[in-house]
Amino acid sequence: MLWVKSLHIISIIAWMAGMLYLPRLMVYHADVEKGSAQSETFKIMERRLLKAIMTPAMVASWIFGLWLVLGYQVASFTDGWFLVKLIGVLALSGMHGFLSKQVKAFAQDQNERSAKFFRMINEVPTLLMIIIVIMVVVKPF
């Protein structure tokens, strides 16, 4: 179980690193001219971050997390803290999907959102991470 837990934590760290960095890239990307060399560089950075790090890390996080719950019964679906954590992880996964959609919009030079929008969005993964960690460590209910 400790190997699975370790791989789960490593996967989450990689996923969160991307979830915190990708919106920040989008903040800067939204301010550059479409089709510029700088815009093309951001497109490459965003695509590689999403495809090579974030998505594999998200999939691994889900696999190892479900393995812990279903294989080792580290939590029950009736535990209040676990349900809140699960909702947080589902929201984080939804955020991942939203960011994936934004990467596609930038790649096609069809982004219509402002840098200010991405600055605000950049806070969502942090808030979800705080909720999830508190649920797992403190288990307040």
Q: Which amino acids are annotated as binding site for heme, given as ranges?
A: 8, 85
Could you list the residues known to form a binding site, using ranges: 8, 85
Cα 59 from Cα 49, distance rounded (Å): 14
Contact predicate 125/16, CB 8 Å: yes
User: What are the distances in angstroms from CA 99 to CA 2, 3, 19, 78, 95?
Assistant: 32, 30, 8, 31, 6
Structure token pair of residue 24: 């920040």
Q: What are 61's two structure tokens?
A: 């996080």
How far is Cα 86 from Cα 126, in angstroms, rounded to an integer?
A: 16
